[in-house]
Amino acid sequence: MANLSYGGLRLTPPKILALGFILLIGTGTVLLSLPISSANGRISWIDALFMATSATCVTGLAVIDTGTGLTTFGQIVLLVLFQFGGLGFVTMATLVTLVLNRRISLKERLLLQESMNQNSMQGIVLLIRRVLIYSLVIQLAGASVLALRFLKDMSAGKAIYYGIFHSISIFNNAGFDLFGDVHGPFSGLTRYAEDPVVNITAILLIFLGGIGFIVLSDVIDFRKRRRLTLHSKVVLSTSLILIAAGAGLFFWLEIYHTLKPLHPGGKVMASILQAITPRSGGVTTIDIYKLRESTQFLIILLMFIGAAPGSTGGGIKLTTFALLIAAVYSRIRGKEDVVLFRHRLSKENVYRAITMTLLSLLLVVTATMLLSITEKADFLAVMFEAVSAFGTSGLTMGLTTELTTIGKILIIILMFMGRTGPLTLAYALRPTKGKELYRHPEGHLMIG
């Protein structure tokens, strides 16, 4: 991995990305701790840090009610943080560079390559231009539709503001809303559980934000190229399978429970939204704490899987999950190669997926164990909170507002590691070493 020199310091792209997120979080913490940001007295430093981390890491967990606890200034600070956090501060910095008509340097291209999970720098600037254009168009379209819908419930100025805020929040998978009551373990969008405009718009925004900008660009180019890359095929197929399976299971588990009061169309919309939102969306139209334990565990699994690489979402990522399933299938069939869509995948990809999953599991298990010590809550609620923070999902069973100071710090660490990625953070923290000049003798170990 290439090193970049800044002021005599040699930093790898993962280190710069991690430091960039820390800088954004620090700036947001200072701004949110100002009296102008709070509607009910000054926000404590730990709560300001929690909210800034949740926004920058596009999680959505909140210890302060965004709608009533923050002023318009505080809400705009959050909006800027999750816009930068969702698209990536490197992407946003590139936007400034492009506006000023400056040349993108080699160092900046290396950072862009790392931030977008690309294997090469070829076409990276063109991809960033597309990311910015697509994001702007999608968010404006979402804001327009939501604003028109909110006009029925509020004044024109408020409807426009709410439309913009929620469109940016949902597309960036941030999960913040201005309707909710922070003292209740649910999103304010529960009032729109049967509203087709809000539901369909939210589903599309979460889906488009969660599949990744690389896939989005590939799909738009499909008419010209008449083919999709392997990455896009895996992301789209895995995403659609998880949405269909998740919605079907949710509908089956909750049909005579939380879905019972809704009309048939509302039941279907609620099931689809609740199937797609755990994978980093963060908005929900059903009270999470009212769900069956089996449904809550289903949501935990979906939150752990997360969204696609290069997207605004977290988790171990769709491609990692797909690769692990393909590897298990190949081993069961006695095949040496792992194949997806008639493409053989390298052992390096398999090792990276296994490493990412095990590091993530270790992180979540450790955090859950520590939270079960520091917090007075059911084990499932503790696990749900930990996985939600790691997967930057933002869903909660009500534990967020009851967290102790130590609990808040643990969740902050989880949100940060979930957004930057355990593997990226491991690369950032590891010492720089050259290639090993020797290999150990091969050993044999009994497995299973």
Which pLDDT belongs to residue 406?
95
Range name among 29-43, 102-116, 229-243, 405-419 with the lowest pLDDT average: 102-116
pLDDT higher than threshold 50 for residue 186: no
Which pLDDT belongs to residue 12?
59
Q: Is residue 46 one of the residues assigned to a domain?
A: yes
Count of other CB atoms within 10 angstroms of residue 415: 28
Total of domains in the chain: 1
Q: How far is it, in rounded angstroms, from Cα 44 to Cα 63?
A: 11
Strand partners, 338: 345
Q: Which helix (H) or strand (E) holds 25?
A: helix 13-32
Q: Is residue 433 one of the residues assigned to a domain?
A: no
Which pLDDT belongs to residue 273?
93
One-character DSSP codes across 180-247: --TTSSS-GGGGGTT-HHHHHHHHHHHHHHHS-HHHHHHHHTHHHH----HHHHHHHHHHHHHHHHHH
Q: Domain range spanning residue 318?
A: 4-425
Query: CA torsion, points 150, 155, 157, 159, in degrees to nearest 10?
Result: -10
Q: Is 446 left (phi over 0), alpha (psi -120 to 50) or beta?
A: beta
Q: Is residue 286 one of the residues assigned to a domain?
A: yes
Nearest to 131 by CA among 94, 164, 105: 94
More confident call, 294 vs 311: 294
DSSP 402: G
Q: Is residue 159 one of the residues assigned to a domain?
A: yes
Q: Is residue 299 one of the residues assigned to a domain?
A: yes
Burial class of residue 158 (count of CB atoms within 10 Å of its CB; 0-12, 13-18, 19+):
middle
Q: How far is it, in rounded angstroms, from Cα 235 to Cα 434?
A: 34
Q: How far is it, in rounded angstroms, from Cα 272 to Cα 266?
A: 10
Answer yes or no: are the C-beta atoms of 101 and 53 closer than 8 Å: no
- Six-digit token pair at 65? 């009610």
pLDDT digits (tens, 9 = 90+) for 196-226: 999 999 999 999 888 877 788 888 887 777 7
Q: At what angle do helices 347-374 and 405-420 cross, to 10 degrees?
A: 170
Mean pLDDT of the chain: 82
- Residues 145-163, mean pLDDT to the nearest whole number: 93
Q: Give me the residue label for tokens 């889906």.
A: 207
Q: How far is it, in rounded angstroms, from Cα 224 to Cα 91?
A: 26
pLDDT digits (tens, 9 = 90+) for 246-278: 999 999 999 999 999 999 999 999 999 999 999
Q: Is residue 439 one of the residues assigned to a domain?
A: no
pLDDT higher than threshold 90 for residue 10: no
DSSP 343: E
Q: Which helix (H) or strand (E) holds 361?
A: helix 347-374
Q: What is the pTM of this model?
A: 0.86
Q: Is residue 178 one of the residues assigned to a domain?
A: yes
Task: List helix spans (H) across 88-155.
Answer: 89-99, 106-115, 124-150
Q: Is residue 434 one of the residues assigned to a domain?
A: no
Q: Which helix (H) or strand (E) holds 344?
A: strand 343-345
